[in-house]
Amino acid sequence: MPFRVTFVCTGNICRSPMAEHVLRHHVGEAGLDVVVDSSGIDGWHVGEHADRRTVAALRRAGYATSHTARRFDPEWFDGYDLILALDEGHLRDLRTMAPDSAARAKVRMLREFDPVAGEDLDVPDPYYGGTDGFDRVLRLIEAAMPGLLREIKSGVTVG
């Protein structure tokens, strides 16, 4: 059975789809049996593609870009091994939605896997800014990948 990871941001058109594609690329290169997806806390953009600036940043870096936004459903907690929030607000919302302590324990911050992140674990929302904000978000996400991959490898069962 594959290890399952999801990323959660506000509307699922900027940060979380970016993180989804970056992790999917890395687990593919590592040959890991991991299912990666993403969603949003709010449903404003359900059914939409990722923001054009997200797509552009991913393409510049050589990542895939196919995406359709969806809203996180609290019934999904059982289906994931790791639920990664992109900022403190998402973390609070997800932990509030969690049906029990086991589900709450699955919810973590993406940047906690970046050893140089310090105390500010938020990935800032680039939506209201320019291209440079999307490039910065991509760098922050990529910086967390080595630590996240180590975490995933520790939870993947070898069959």
CATH number for the domain harbouring residue 131: 3.40.50.2300
Predicted pLDDT at 159? 45
CA dist., res. 53 & res. 107, Å (int): 27
Q: Which of 3, 154, 14 is nearest to 90 (CA)?
A: 14
pTM: 0.96
Tally the domains of the chain.
Answer: 1
Positions marked active-site? 9, 15, 125
Give the SS3 label for residue 28: helix
Average pLDDT over residues 21-36: 97
Dist CA 139 CA 49 (whole Å): 21
| Residues 7-29, mean pLDDT to the nearest whole number | 98
User: Domain containing 39: what range?
Assistant: 3-155
Condensed to tens digits (0 to 9), the pLDDT of residues 52-95 reads 999 999 999 999 999 999 999 999 999 999 999 999 999 999 99
The model's confidence at residue 157, banded by pLDDT at 50, 70 and 90, is: low
